């Protein structure tokens, strides 16, 4: 009963979410998009669990309390630093169903069928979240499934009062969910929108979580729950089969490692493009005195945009699932390649994206959520998880409470045709059965002399990578506090379209004028709030753990 009282009280925590100061702790920290989920994670730490236990508990809680991106019907990536200094990464990204084919979203004329890869049952890849969270717990956790899943089950079963933000989200997506009775039943009161303060219960999801708690991965990938997912697929001509679910496996991969001004940068390897691109862009920036150029100056924005332009061009050509395509990771992340790639940089003039192709050498992937966890022993988890679009395909598998993802849109469904985030792909990211779609998710851990220093990541589609990059540069180059590094406006360029988007008030009028004189075109201020990204981050310094919830959204950093 005590946990319910605490969780209900946390609904009234917008002050924590919007605080300009980082939260401090000595023993542990969780920062996430949901105050309820952060409290669940910290509760696990306080009960003797480590950061991996807390991350798994937080992940399952987010599936209940932040359904637009928290999930058990999607997938994600985790970067983990263990107390012995070892860094591991787990790929639990979704996979293409066994019946998938390269041109499955094209009509007879070879044109893309609008909405087929985003708003239908055929948009879903085979979910990986449950397998990934359970594998993390099995290999590096200290608590049982029952212990770490109990808070999420309680939240789903007994419900929690909706914040104004969540109630408004439900109202916005209700029309898109109208064709799907199970979605309408879960996210409304018989078609009437929920209001802030209404207690929202999810009995079907609670039953599904209980099944996983009792039976492990078989409680999701086999048996009753798997049959409910496949029955939903069959109702809407989807592709996921019982065999696809039973065969799904997460993959431990080699982390991407780079160095930047004496710090070690640890990130995800393909099928994430984030680790490669962050290291590549840092390599391009390292020869320049970023601090002297000054945060917000036209000269620094120009420098970073040109690095972003070249890195995203390489993403389109060279990045995909390394189990299916020979991704040249070592080359793309080498400092020698960065020097060559940036050799045509003009400090006074913008490049033309049409003239910037992918790099070459002699032969030899908006709605996601990121959370960061650290315990007092030095275990660290950076975990980013997603359904792709907000609320995924908007389809709930009837009887299960599970929102289905629309990750198939992250494949290159046709060469040089952008996905919903404007990202272009080619052969490396073409659809194949069992293949993982390319992602922009960029959970990142930075260490200094083997000690944890910074943990970051973000949602935001194509802007995820540049958000994480700017948090890192803000802390290392500009020597900012964590609150400033996370809170200040950001800018983004992704090669094509050839435009710079930036957070509201993020570029001064003088800098805008200079950038335009340099030849940068299509500079666009965000029309919403404070701009893009939700970089829930942790900084460790002098024995103190600092946690910062990105003030752009709800949530909380909670430490003790």
Residues tagged active-site:
368
Separation CA 487–CA 559 (nearest Å)? 19
Separation CA 454–CA 459 (nearest Å)? 17
By CB neighbour count within 10 A (0-12 exposed, 13-18 middle, 19+ buried), where does 509 fall? exposed
Angle at the Cα of 467 (from 464 to 471), degrees rounded to 5? Answer: 140
- Write down the H helix ranges in 99-163: 129-140, 145-158
Instruction: Characterize 173-199 residue by residue with b for buried, 16 or more Cβ atoms within 10 angstroms of its Cβ, and e for exposed.
Output: bbebbeebebbbbbbbeeeeebeeebe
Q: Are 537 and 548 spatial neighbours (Cβ–Cβ below 8 Å)? A: yes
Q: Which two structure tokens, joined as six digits, stand for 186? A: 């879960």
Separation CA 537–CA 381 (nearest Å)? 11
Number of helices (H) and strands (E), helices first, in the chain? 20, 21
If one counts every other C-beta atom within 10 angstroms of the C-beta of residue 444, the result is 30
Q: Are 67 and 403 spatial neighbours (Cβ–Cβ below 8 Å)? A: yes
In sequence order, what are the beta bridge partners of 253? 89
SS (H, E, C) 467-494: HHHHHHHHHHCCCCCHHHHHHCCCEECC
Give the phi and the psi of residue 81 in degrees, each rounded to 5: -115, 120
Pick left, alpha or beta for residue 314 (phi over 0 → left; psi -120 to 50 → alpha; otherwise beta): alpha
Q: Are 558 and 31 spatial neighbours (Cβ–Cβ below 8 Å)? A: yes
- How far, in Å, are 41, 51, 74 from residue 140 at the CA level? 16, 9, 22
Separation CA 538–CA 365 (nearest Å)? 24
Backbone Cα Rg of the chain: 22
**Cα within 13 Å of Cα(6), Cβ side:** 13
Query: Which residue carries 């898109």 as its tokens?
Result: 176
Q: Is 396 helix (H, G, I), strand (E, B) or coil?
A: strand
By CB neighbour count within 10 A (0-12 exposed, 13-18 middle, 19+ buried), where does 342 fall? buried
Separation CA 117–CA 137 (nearest Å)? 32
If one counts every other C-beta atom within 10 angstroms of the C-beta of residue 296, the result is 16
Give the phi and the psi of residue 170 in degrees, each rounded to 5: -60, -45
In sequence order, what are the beta bridge partners of 79? 89, 382
């Amino acid at each position: 009963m005590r946990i319910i009282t605490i969780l209900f009280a946390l609904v009234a925590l917008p002050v924590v979410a919007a605080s300009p100061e980082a939260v401090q702790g000595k023993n542990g920290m969780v920062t996430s998009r949901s105050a309820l989920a952060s409290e669940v994670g910290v509760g696990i730490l306080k009960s003797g669990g480590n950061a991996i236990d807390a991350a798994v508990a937080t992940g399952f809680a987010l599936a209940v309390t932040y359904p637009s991106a928290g999930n058990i019907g999607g997938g994600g990536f985790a970067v983990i630093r263990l107390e012995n200094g070892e860094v591991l990464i787990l790929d639990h990204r979704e996979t293409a169903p066994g019946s998938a084919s390269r041109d499955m979203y094209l009509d007879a004329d070879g044109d893309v069928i609008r909405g087929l890869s985003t708003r239908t049952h055929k948009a879903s890849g085979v979910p990986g979240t449950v397998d990934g969270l359970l594998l993390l717990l099995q290999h590096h956790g200290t608590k049982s499934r029952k212990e770490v899943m109990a808070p999420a089950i309680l939240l789903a079963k007994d419900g929690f009062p909706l914040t104004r933000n969540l109630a408004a989200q439900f109202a916005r997506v209700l029309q898109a969910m109208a064709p799907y009775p199970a979605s309408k039943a879960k996210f409304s009161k018989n078609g009437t929108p929920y209001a802030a303060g209404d207690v929202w219960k999810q009995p079907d999801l609670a039953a599904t979580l209980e099944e996983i708690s009792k039976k492990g991965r078989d409680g999701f990938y086999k048996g009753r729950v798997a049959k409910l997912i496949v029955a939903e697929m069959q109702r809407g001509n989807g592709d996921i089969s019982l065999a696809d679910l039973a065969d799904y496996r997460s993959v431990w991969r080699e982390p991407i490692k780079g160095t930047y001004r004496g710090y070690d940068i640890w990130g995800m390897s393909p099928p994430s493009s984030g680790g490669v691109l962050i290291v590549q862009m840092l390599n391009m920036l390292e020869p320049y005195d970023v601090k002297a150029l000054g945060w917000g100056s036209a000269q620094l924005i120009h420098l970073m945009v040109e690095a972003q332009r070249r890195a995203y061009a390489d993403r389109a050509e060279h990045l995909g699932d390394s189990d299916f395509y020979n991704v040249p990771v070592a080359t793309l992340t080498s400092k020698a390649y960065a020097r060559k790639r940036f050799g045509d940089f003009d400090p006074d003039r913008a490049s033309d994206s049409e003239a910037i192709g992918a790099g070459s050498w002699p032969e030899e992937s908006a709605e996601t959520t990121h959370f960061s966890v650290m315990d007092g022993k030095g275990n660290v988890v950076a975990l980013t998880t997603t359904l792709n679009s907000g609320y995924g395909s908007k389809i709930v598998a009837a009887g299960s409470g599970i929102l289905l993802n629309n990750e198939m849109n992250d494949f290159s469904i046709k060469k040089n045709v952008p996905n919903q985030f404007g990202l272009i792909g080619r052969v490396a990211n073409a659809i194949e059965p069992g293949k993982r779609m390319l992602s922009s998710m960029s959970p990142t851990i930075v260490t200094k002399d083997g000690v944890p220093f910074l943990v970051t990541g973000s949602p935001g589609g194509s802007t995820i990578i540049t958000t994480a990059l700017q948090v890192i540069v803000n802390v290392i180059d500009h020597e900012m506090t964590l609150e400033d590094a996370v809170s200040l406006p950001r800018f983004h360029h992704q090669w094509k379209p050839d435009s710079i988007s930036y957070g509201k008030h993020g570029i001064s009028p003088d800098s805008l004028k200079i950038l335009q004189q340099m030849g940068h075109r299509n500079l666009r201020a965000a029309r919403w709030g404070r701009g893009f990204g939700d970089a829930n981050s942790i900084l460790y310094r002098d024995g103190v753990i600092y946690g910062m919830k990105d003030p752009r959204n709800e949530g909380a950093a909670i430490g003790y």
